[in-house]
């Protein structure tokens, strides 16, 4: 039988929101599924004083509040693998004790010296932790060493590079796992499979047959308690630099010669290198920023009235843009992206619009030709829908649009696995395909930095410019209208 990965996970930020809501439940699921066996252990690290018993109780409570039907026997044996270490990450002295504890756990659970360091903490600590891990000897281990870094990875290219240089002084590139949550999603991973395993799509996947591609990631919530962080970041840095550009890369890349991490990443990098470098004028034309106002009933506050947000904030909570990829396959095909908060639906969807057939023989109501669309539903529903035209019953020359659906969750009969569960398991197995390489991070920042520099130097006079509960500012519609396109109403594109 293939050996399950043995590893010690040292979790920095063990009492935080991410650890409680996502990481403990994901580890527990991996444990109950037998993907991690008895040869695993976790050392939770944070400043507050906790005994091991209190820490284990917290873990149980987090799991029970996220997962139904937790069995006592499972959870009791699961938490015996956890120990707590009270530690301020800026204090070098505490790392010696952490090292001793790691060595003990290594022996007790037979972990072969394999170590994962998960930095579930504010990004300003990433550099200092990795440097101490090296200087205090924690990375000096007989097995593998890997570090998992949460987003955001820098604030722009310059800060990302500084951070990367610090991390690289302790870890090799192939030991660094930069999380992009979207890459853990089942249907994002499915983009490659849909493209490269269907004779129906791949031959058409180019500028001869595709008119445009639209990627929308909309949220209904506002900034909630994240005002302090968000006001310095905005939708462009928070969503476009990472998630949106990763989806563009997966949709546009050439078929890799094999499914290895290196081959897939190098194809994605080639796409990011082909993103058109716009002039300042083109950026102003092709990228639209928005900031939410109150809703129509006046129940929700405007962005500028949110806690810890500047009263005259120039930060965008919405971005729409037209991305052009200057290569042979995609010349002339716009990739439209839009993402924002307080929109009318919580949804991430990709719409691939195929070109119209050369001549329409059939009468269609409103004289509108219904183009073929392939909709990839990323979240909350997962699946694909193909929009086709068929004969309208009883009519000789009239057509009607129909939708063929595949629902991922329905087919599996259970909820799709939590993204974190897959990502943690990937790191344990050393599979970095669904994490971002430094080259991808660097190219995406360079692309986004050009836009943010212009936006930061020009105040948007229109802000706030979209009502909470709408699909964004009018200018975003005009962006597509200029090309004779429309945003497809993805809020109505649920899988029936």
H/E run at residue 74: helix 72-79
* Closest distance to ligand NAP from the beta carbon of 343 (Å): 20
Which residue in 132, 87, 134, 110 sits closest to 41, CA to CA? 110
Among 4, 151, 270, 485, binds ligand NAP (CB under 6 A): 151
**Angstrom distance (rounded) from CA 473 to CA 462:** 10
By CB under 6 A, tell whether 123 contacts ligand NAP. yes
- For ligand NAP, the closer CB: 19 or 490: 19
Which residue in 150, 331, 156 sits closest to 232, CA to CA? 156
Calculated CA dihedral for residues 31, 35, 37, 43, nearest 10 degrees? -60
Among 17, 158, 280, 398, binds ligand NAP (CB under 6 A): 17
Candidate ranges 54-62, 120-128, 153-161, 316-324; the one touching ligand NAP (CB under 6 A):
120-128
Which residue in 315, 219, 324 sits closest to 271, CA to CA? 324
Which residues in the 410-449 window bind ligand NAP by CB under 6 A? none
By CB under 6 A, tell whether 280 contacts ligand NAP. no
By CB under 6 A, tell whether 231 contacts ligand NAP. no
- For ligand NAP, the closer CB: 12 or 286: 12
Alpha helices in 109-226 (DSSP H): 126-135, 157-168, 186-196
Residues ≥6 apart with Cβ < 8 Å to 165 = none
- For ligand NAP, the closer CB: 135 or 360: 135
**Angstrom distance (rounded) from CA 181 to CA 191:** 15
Are 117 and 12 in contact by the 8 Å Cβ rule? The answer is: yes
Q: Which of 243, 377, 387, 437 is catalytic?
A: 243
Tokens linked to 68: 């139904």
H/E run at residue 447: helix 438-457
Distances (CA, A) of 429 to 115, 179, 187, 355, 419: 12, 15, 21, 42, 16
Nearest residue to ligand NAP, using CB?
16
Candidate ranges 75-83, 115-123, 302-310, 459-467; the one touching ligand NAP (CB under 6 A):
115-123
Among 10, 105, 121, 194, binds ligand NAP (CB under 6 A): 121
* Closest distance to ligand NAP from the beta carbon of 95 (Å): 11
- The verdict on whether 243 is a catalytic residue reads yes
Tokens linked to 429: 């197995």
- For ligand NAP, the closer CB: 17 or 478: 17
Which residues in the 197-226 window bind ligand NAP by CB under 6 A? none
Which residues in the 77-96 window bind ligand NAP by CB under 6 A? 87-90
* Closest distance to ligand NAP from the beta carbon of 99 (Å): 16
* Closest distance to ligand NAP from the beta carbon of 435 (Å): 14
- Phi, psi for residue 379 in degrees, rounded to 5: -160, 155
Which residue in 437, 435, 440, 438 sits closest to 270, CA to CA? 440
Bridge partners of 11? Answer: 44, 118
Task: Mark 26-55 with x for binding to ligand NAP (rule: CB under 6 A) and - for no binding.
Answer: --------------------xxx-------
By CB under 6 A, tell whether 16 contacts ligand NAP. yes
**Angstrom distance (rounded) from CA 484 to CA 463:** 26
Among 15, 218, 348, 470, binds ligand NAP (CB under 6 A): 15
* Closest distance to ligand NAP from the beta carbon of 48 (Å): 4
By CB under 6 A, tell whether 120 contacts ligand NAP. yes
Among 24, 31, 150, 440, binds ligand NAP (CB under 6 A): 150
Are 247 and 191 in contact by the 8 Å Cβ rule? The answer is: yes
By CB under 6 A, tell whether 131 contacts ligand NAP. no
* Closest distance to ligand NAP from the beta carbon of 181 (Å): 6
**Angstrom distance (rounded) from CA 119 to CA 1:** 32
Question: Where in the sequence numbering do the catalytic residues fall?
Answer: 243
Chain residues in the site for ligand NAP (CB under 6 A): 13-19, 21-22, 46-48, 87-90, 120-123, 150-151
């Amino acid at each position: 039988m293939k050996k399950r990965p043995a590893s010690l996970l040292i979790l920095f930020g063990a009492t935080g929101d991410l650890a409680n809501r996502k990481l403990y439940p994901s580890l527990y699921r991996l444990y109950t599924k037998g993907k991690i066996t008895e040869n695993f252990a976790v050392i939770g690290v944070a400043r507050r004083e906790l005994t091991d018993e209190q820490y284990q109780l917290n873990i149980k409570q987090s799991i029970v509040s996220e997962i139904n039907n937790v069995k006592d026997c499972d959870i009791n044996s699961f938490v015996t693998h956890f120990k707590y270490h009270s530690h301020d990450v800026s204090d070098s002295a505490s790392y010696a004790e952490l090292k001793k504890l790691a060595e003990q756990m290594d022996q007790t659970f037979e972990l072969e010296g394999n170590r994962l360091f998960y930095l579930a903490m504010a990004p300003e600590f990433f550099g200092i932790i990795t440097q101490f891990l090296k200087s205090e000897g924690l990375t000096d281990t007989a097995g593998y060493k890997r570090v998992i870094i949460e987003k955001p990875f820098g604030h722009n290219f310059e800060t990302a590079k500084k951070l990367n240089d610090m991390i690289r002084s302790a870890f090799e590139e192939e030991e660094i796992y930069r999380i992009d949550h979207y890459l853990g999603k089942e249907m994002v991973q499915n983009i490659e499979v849909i493209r490269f395993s269907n004779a129906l799509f791949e031959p058409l996947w180019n500028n001869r047959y595709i008119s445009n591609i639209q990627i929308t990631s909309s949220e209904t919530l506002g900034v909630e308690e994240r005002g302090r962080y968000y006001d310095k970041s905005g939708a462009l840095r928070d969503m476009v630099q990472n998630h949106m550009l990763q989806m563009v890369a997966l949709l546009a890349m050439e078929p890799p010669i094999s499914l290895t991490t290196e081959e897939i990443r190098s194809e994605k990098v080639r796409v990011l290198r082909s993103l058109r470098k716009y002039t300042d004028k083109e950026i102003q034309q092709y990228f639209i920023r928005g900031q939410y106002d109150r809703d129509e009933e006046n129940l929700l506050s405007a962005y500028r009235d949110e806690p810890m947000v500047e009263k005259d904030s120039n930060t965008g909570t919405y971005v729409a843009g037209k991305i052009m990829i200057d290569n042979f396959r995609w010349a002339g095909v716009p990739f439209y992206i839009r993402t924002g908060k307080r929109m009318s639906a919580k949804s991430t969807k990709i719409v691939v619009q195929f070109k119209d057939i050369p001549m329409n023989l059939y009468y269609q109501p409103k004289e509108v030709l219904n183009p073929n669309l392939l909709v990839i539903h990323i979240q909350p529903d997962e699946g694909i829908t193909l929009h086709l035209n068929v004969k309208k019953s009883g009519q000789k020359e009239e057509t009607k649009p129909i939708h063929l659906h595949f629902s991922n969750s329905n087919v599996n009969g259970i909820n799709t696995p939590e993204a974190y569960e897959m990502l943690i398991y990937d790191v344990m197995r050393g599979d970095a395909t669904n994490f971002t390489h430094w080259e991808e991070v660097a190219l995406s920042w360079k692309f986004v930095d050009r836009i943010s520099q212009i936006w930061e130097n020009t105040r948007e006079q229109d802000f706030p410019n979209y009502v909470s509960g709408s699909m964004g500012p009018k200018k975003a519609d005009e962006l597509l209208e200029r090309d004779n396109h429309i945003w497809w109403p993805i809020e109505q594109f649920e899988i029936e």
